[in-house]
Amino acid sequence: MDDASAAVKRAGSAADTEEDFSTVPTTTAASENGLEDLSISETDSNTRVTPGDTTSSAAAAVGTQANVNDAVPSPAPARGADEPAAPASRADTASLGTGASGLVLFDLTACFSPHTVKTLLDLKLLNVGYERQRLTFVQVRNELASRVADNVTVPALELSDGSHIVDSWNIAEYLERRHPQGYRVFGDSATKRLAAMLNQFGKTVLAPHIGPLAQKGVHAMLDKESASYFADVKIGKARWAKVSAMTPAERDAHVQQAIAKLEVVNAMLTCEGGADSTPAPPVAGSTASTPLVDSATNGRRASKSVWLAGGDEPTHADFVLFGWYVFTRAAGAKTAREIWHAHKPIAKWVQALEAWAGDLAHDFV
């Protein structure tokens, strides 16, 4: 390990973007080549601690500095559209406006992390303004750790009163409860549960296959000091050697496994009709030659929602999965297209979310 990597390792944990490439087990057993268990996961340092928990490692980690995640509400059912936001503090009022003066978002220099993508899109959904500070891995582990807490990861928010919220799920729940239109983040409890499930689906089902494909691309984006830390500390030298030596056959196996895992998402997008579904039979009063139309579409055939939970706009559930698409792009356009365009409904969903993201989409890797 070189001097730069050693200095970074002494500064804190090896988690920077809610990810630990070397220690978190997955539901997929490690293969002989050791690649399938290269997971991307939130670490214990980002796990919410209940008020009475004073003994766990998570409790100790969260307590390393005051005002970290203090603003995050307790777990609760999703906020409905008719439910008012929680009483806003001065920090909330100053932080959640459309201007960029009250909120700071800490992110990485290259936008590849599936977790930072979630937060960027949550903020766009609610039209929240922010100052974006983009850091290298080394700056996260040293400068941001000194500013927030030793176990800090990105995305992280700094509110106008100097307090911080760490972890994309914590940020989503904060926005849901404190922003006047925060109910749009999840929409309802069914969608919130879907988002939570997709969080775990990404970390335990997709990551073991997308991770090994994307990590070489991520390494190539980094500055020299951060690249050394990424390979030697964050992933680990032994595993980095396996990723670097991946054969074409191993690469193709990961691609096919990722496509297979996404079949469950394809089923979600087609269960109410769609490109890969059997057309629904006509209802009473219609004929096979007279398709049902929606007056709001000017006589065009009524279309199904493209979003994972239905509805007129995407939610945090969409952003969770889309983050893994963005991360896959670090493996190259060919690999991303192979995986995410293998199922026509998923390809349509990806294209719709890229269009919805607007200028942000140009910033993704």
- Give the separation between CA 116 and CA 157, rounded to whole angstroms: 11
pLDDT at 94: 67
Contact 168, 18 (CB under 8 A): yes
Domain positions in the chain are: 104-271+310-363
Q: What is the pLDDT along the chain (365 residues), one digit of tens a residue?
A: 455 444 443 333 345 565 544 433 333 333 333 333 333 333 323 322 233 333 333 333 333 455 788 877 777 888 888 888 888 787 777 677 766 668 999 999 888 999 999 999 999 999 999 999 999 999 999 999 999 988 899 999 999 889 999 999 999 999 999 999 999 999 999 999 999 999 999 999 999 999 999 999 999 999 999 999 999 998 999 999 999 999 999 999 999 999 999 999 999 999 886 555 443 344 444 433 333 333 333 333 346 789 999 999 999 999 999 999 999 999 999 999 999 999 999 999 999 999 999 988 888 87
- Read off the pTM: 0.77
Q: What is the DSSP letter of 364?
A: B
Helical H segments across the chain, by residue range:
3-11, 57-62, 90-95, 114-125, 137-139, 145-147, 168-178, 189-201, 207-221, 224-229, 237-244, 248-261, 263-270, 316-328, 333-340, 344-357
Distances (CA, A) of 71 to 19, 76, 179, 303: 23, 14, 12, 40
- Give the separation between CA 162 and CA 250, rounded to whole angstroms: 47
Q: Report the candidate in 132, 109, 323 with the shortest Cα–Cα distance to residue 226.
A: 109
Q: What angle do CA 317, 320, 324 make, to 5 degrees?
A: 140
Write the burial class of residue 249 (CB in 10 Å: 0-12 exposed, 13-18 middle, 19+ buried): exposed
- Give the separation between CA 273 and CA 255, rounded to whole angstroms: 27
Is the CA virtual torsion 311, 317, 321, 327 positive or negative? Answer: positive
